[in-house]
Chain A
Amino acid sequence: MLSIENMVAGYGKAQVIHGIDLEVRSGEIVALVGPNGAGKTTTIRCITGEIRPVKGSVRYDGANIADIPPHRVASAGIGCAREGRNIFGNLTVYENLAMGGYVIRGHLKLRERMAWVYDLFPRLKERTGQLAESLSGGEQQMLAIGMAVMNEPGLLLLDEPSLGLAPVVVDQIYEKIAEICREGASILLVEQDVGLALDISRRAYVMESGQIRISGPSDELGKDPYIIDTYLGAR
Chain B
Amino acid sequence: MSAHYLAQQLINALSHGSILALLAIGYTMIYGILGLINFAHGEIFMIGAFACFGAVEFLEMSFPAGVFAAIAGSVLAGLLIERFVYRPCLKRKPEALTVFIASFGASLGLRNLFTMLFGDGRRPFPSAGFLEGIIVTESGLTVNVKDLWIFGVTVILVVGVSVFVKHTKAGIAMRAVAYDANAARLVGINGATAVLTAFLLASILAGVSAVAYGVSYGIVTPSMGYQIGLDAFIAAVLGGIGNVPGAAVAGYIIGLGEILFVALLPPGYSAARPTFVWALLFLILFLKPSGLFRPDMKNR
Task: Indicate if A touches B (C-beta under 8 A).
Answer: yes
Interface, chain A (partner B; CB < 8 A): 48, 50, 69-75, 80, 82, 86-91, 95, 98-100, 102-103, 147, 150-151
Pairwise interchain contact A98-B169, C-beta atoms closer than 8 A: yes
Q: Taking the complex as formed, is B162 at the interface, i.e. its CB lies under 8 A from any CB of chain A?
A: no
Pairwise interchain contact A48-B186, C-beta atoms closer than 8 A: yes
| Residues of chain A with a CB closer than 8 A to B173's CB | 99, 102
Q: B180's closest neighbor in chain A, by CB?
A: A88
| Residues of chain A with a CB closer than 8 A to B178's CB | 90
Interface of B is mostly: helix
Q: How far is the CB of A183 from chain B (nearest CB, A)?
A: 19
Question: CA separation between A90 and B242, bound complex, in Å?
Answer: 11
- Which 10 pairs across A and B sit closest by C-beta, in order of nearness? A74-B188, A103-B188, A70-B185, A90-B298, A88-B179, A102-B188, A86-B183, A88-B176, A71-B185, A90-B179
Pairwise interchain contact B188-A87, C-beta atoms closer than 8 A: no
Per-residue CB contact flags for chain B residues 191-204 toward chain A (1 = under 8 Å, else 0) read 10000000000000
Q: How far is the CB of B159 from chain A (nearest CB, A)?
A: 20
Q: List 25 A-B contacts (CB under 8 A).
A: A48-B186, A50-B186, A70-B186, A71-B185, A71-B186, A74-B185, A74-B186, A74-B187, A82-B183, A82-B186, A87-B183, A88-B176, A88-B183, A88-B184, A89-B179, A90-B175, A90-B178, A91-B175, A91-B176, A95-B172, A95-B175, A99-B173, A99-B176, A102-B169, A150-B187
Question: Apart from A69-B185, A90-B296, A90-B298, what 20 extra A-B contacts exist at CB < 8 Å?
Answer: A48-B186, A70-B185, A70-B186, A71-B190, A82-B186, A86-B186, A88-B176, A88-B184, A89-B298, A90-B297, A91-B172, A91-B179, A95-B175, A95-B176, A99-B176, A99-B184, A99-B189, A102-B173, A103-B188, A150-B187
Per-residue CB contact flags for chain B residues 163-185 toward chain A (1 = under 8 Å, else 0) read 00000010011011011101111
Q: How far is the CB of B284 from chain A (nearest CB, A)?
A: 21
Question: CA separation between A89 and B178, bound complex, in Å?
Answer: 11
| Residues of chain A with a CB closer than 8 A to B297's CB | 90
Question: CA separation between A88 and B186, bound complex, in Å?
Answer: 12
Q: A132's closest neighbor in chain B, by CB?
A: B179
Question: CA separation between A70 and B178, bound complex, in Å?
Answer: 17
| Residues of chain A with a CB closer than 8 A to B191's CB | 71
Q: How far is the CB of B106 from chain A (nearest CB, A)?
A: 27
